[in-house]
Amino acid sequence: MQDHVRPYREPLVVVVVISQAIGRWRLVVSFIPLLIYWLYNIAYSDYASPKPTTSGCSLLSHHHYWIVSERIVIPHEIISGAVEINGGSIISVVKEKDWLEKVKNEPVIDYGEAVVMPGLIDVHAHLDDPGREEWEGFPSGTKAAAAGGITTLIDMPLNNFPSTVSEETLQLKMNLCFFYTGFWGGLVPENAFNASILENLLKAGALGLKSFMCPSGINDFPMTDASHIKEGLSVLAKYKRPLLVHAEKQQDIELKDGDDDPRSYSTYLKTRPSSWEETAIRELLTVTKDTRTGGPAEGAHLHIVHLSDSRSSLELIKEAKRNGDSLTVETCPHYLAFSAEEIPDGDTRFKCAPPIRDASNRQQLWEALMDGDIDMLSSDHSPSEPELKLFAEGDFLRAWGGISSLQFVLPVTWSYGLKYGVTLEKLVSWWSEKPARLASQDLKGGIEKGKHADIVVWEPEKEFELDENHTVHLKHPSISAYMGSRLTGKVVATFVNGNLVFEDGKHAPDACGTTILA
């Protein structure tokens, strides 16, 4: 950080009033210290860096400062200029050289040609705290997020224990959390028909609800059907908050002889075909029509998480949007980076649900994302202990599913998106603007006057290897399918609420933050 900071000082004005009674030799002697100070300022004012003490929440001691870059992504354009930050908020954005006229005594952090853009907002992450912090936990998860340019996390209500399905269980997370983290509550059969439980959960600050239409793998988070979802939407309508749905509907699958090798990824893929997604979405659309203008659940919104099927399922979603349903959909970097044909036998790092599908499906997902038919991206960071991945057996049918990805989503999206024409503006739309809208975070998601100073600085041209020499802050790096990859786009610095929480591989000593509540 020190290399980027330059001080700007008002000219030194020295007024000396000398009594005629003072001898000339005293006058000369009295000027020596001032002369030395004056010469020092001339020599070093353009080059010397202030030495801010590293304290608390930030690697930068200043509350009022400027960030300068030749590439700043603001709404509708990319500018060369400066962003003024004070007290955690953006107070001005100035183009080109005009910023030089504005700066007085505030420090300037000059990032040269590095890209300055809004911090990423990840609306779908499992940090497993409390109860399964040995899987990840808030300390390691939020460090990884900061190192990856993520400035806001919305934590899912399951994989922790107990699952977050009531006001009381939400409070358990709120007591643990730091960094800037919000929470989805859970919609399960136990609370779906009890409006008071759901309302208390929402009043306590849950940003919305999440449900599964298939077994979740977590005993205290059972699956829902359309009747539960309809009830949930009616409650959410009063609070104008979303329902996030894992849209797969389980069906009986009978594997043929010779197609049942558990070490083959194709075997796992056959056990979870795209028809599971299509069937679930068809059922969902029988209730999402209630969210239309004038409908019984107007004000509610339904969001389909981690779409994997780019064919029939996506066509149903597009039709529902055209009909006026309040509906959005996300996909994840692992569906855009990997294809089923490339997954080695026994490499259970790649197991997730819905599964990674074929290369043609991957291309269609990219096209839908670029065209706006898929609204946004999320990590679906879903870690576990390495033992649950069953690396020795390589059994895709029994291994725990989930892709560990939190620290890598920005360079992964950029690296694999370059061949499809990904732009910086698209990244901001998918990872900042639209996620902020889904979570009702109006003061996040953009570099604009009045918004929170949540900013990532990164170098899109910088390549690096994800190997043992690359510092990974996830609790269990070995389970990530991205290890061993060569990626483009290195995160340089991350600012959260004006605090420099990460720069050049170093975190601020204290993980400070405010829990994000609705």
Q: Is the pLDDT of residue 48 over 60?
A: no
> For the chain, what is the radius of gyration of the CA atoms?
26
Query: Is the four-CA dihedral 91, 103, 2, 38 of positive or negative sign?
Result: negative
Q: Is 287 within a domain?
A: yes
Q: Which two tokens stand for residue 286?
A: 């029988």
What is the 8-class DSSP label of residue 112?
A: T
pLDDT score at 55 = 59
47, 7 contact by CB (below 8 A): no
Q: Is 135 within a domain?
A: yes
- Please count the residues of the chain: 518
Q: Exposure string (b/e) for 63-83, b if CB count within 10 Å is 16 or more? A: eebbbbbbbbbbeeebbebbb
pLDDT mean across residues, the chain: 90
pLDDT score at 383 = 98
CATH classification at residue 233: 3.20.20.140
Q: Is 18 within a domain?
A: no
What gap in Å lies between CA 323 and CA 411, rounded to an integer?
A: 36
148 Cβ partners below 8 Å, 6+ apart? 120, 406, 407, 408, 409, 410, 491
Distances (CA, A) of 246 to 123, 357, 367, 472, 476: 14, 17, 22, 29, 25
Q: Is 293 within a domain?
A: yes
Distances (CA, A) of 140 to 133, 383, 451, 469: 9, 12, 27, 18
Q: Could you tell me the pLDDT band of residue 259, with boundaries at 50, 70 and 90?
A: confident
pLDDT tens sequence across 452-464? 999 999 999 999 9
3-state secondary structure of 350: helix
Q: Is 468 exposed, middle or buried (0-12, 13-18, 19+ CB in 10 A)?
A: exposed
333, 413 contact by CB (below 8 A): yes
Amino acid at 157: P
Q: Could you tell me the pLDDT band of residue 5, with boundaries at 50, 70 and 90?
A: low
What is the 8-class DSSP label of residue 59?
A: S
In degrees and rounded to multiples of 5, residue 74 shows phi and psi of -115, 170
pLDDT score at 256 = 81
Q: Is the pLDDT of residue 248 over 50?
A: yes
Distances (CA, A) of 424 to 118, 225, 445: 11, 39, 14
pLDDT tens sequence across 436-447? 999 999 999 999
Beta pairing class for 455-465 and 115-118: antiparallel
Q: Is 454 within a domain?
A: no
Taking alpha carbons only, the member of 335, 253, 332, 246 closest to residue 284 is 246
150, 119 contact by CB (below 8 A): yes
What gap in Å lies between CA 456 and CA 115, rounded to an integer?
A: 8
Overall number of domains in the chain = 1
138, 177 contact by CB (below 8 A): yes
Q: How many CA atoms lie within 13 A of 436 on its CB side?
A: 20
Q: In 138-290, where do the E strands start and end? A: 150-155, 181-183, 185-186, 209-212, 242-246
Find the range with the poorest average confidence among 18-32, 49-63, 267-281. 18-32
Query: Is the four-CA dihedral 161, 167, 173, 175 of positive or negative sign?
Result: negative
Q: Is 282 within a domain?
A: yes
3-state secondary structure of 164: coil
What is the 8-class DSSP label of residue 460?
A: E
Q: Which two tokens stand for residue 38?
A: 């004056």
Distances (CA, A) of 426 to 56, 112, 154, 376: 34, 22, 21, 10
Domain with 327, as residue range(s), is 119-445+475-487
Q: Could you tell me the pLDDT band of residue 237, with boundaries at 50, 70 and 90?
A: very high
377 Cβ partners below 8 Å, 6+ apart? 330, 331, 332, 333, 369, 409, 413, 430, 431
Average pLDDT over residues 272-283: 98
pLDDT tens sequence across 304-322? 999 999 999 999 999 999 9
What is the 8-class DSSP label of residue 56?
A: T
Q: Could you tell me the pLDDT band of residue 382, with boundaries at 50, 70 and 90?
A: very high
Sheet strands side by side (includes 150-155)? 120-125, 150-155, 181-183
Helix H segments across 148-244?
Answer: 167-176, 189-192, 195-203, 226-239
Q: Which two tokens stand for residue 125?
A: 């992450």
Q: Is the pLDDT of residue 47 over 60?
A: no
DSSP bridge pairs for 50: none
Q: Is 153 within a domain?
A: yes
What gap in Å lies between CA 60 and CA 54, rounded to an integer?
A: 6
What gap in Å lies between CA 255 and CA 243, rounded to an integer?
A: 34
Q: Which two tokens stand for residue 95?
A: 């183009």
Average pLDDT over residues 281-291: 97
pLDDT tens sequence across 109-128? 999 999 999 999 999 999 99
pLDDT tens sequence across 341-364? 999 999 999 999 999 999 999 999
Taking alpha carbons only, the member of 123, 142, 184 closest to residue 475 is 142
Q: Which two tokens stand for residue 79?
A: 């500018």
Find the range with the poorest average confidence among 14-18, 77-81, 104-108. 14-18
Q: Could you tell me the pLDDT band of residue 58, with boundaries at 50, 70 and 90?
A: very high
Q: Is 370 within a domain?
A: yes
Find the range with the poorest average confidence among 21-35, 183-197, 246-260, 425-439. 21-35
383, 128 contact by CB (below 8 A): yes
What gap in Å lies between CA 345 and CA 396, rounded to an integer?
A: 9
Q: Could you tell me the pLDDT band of residue 28, with boundaries at 50, 70 and 90?
A: very low
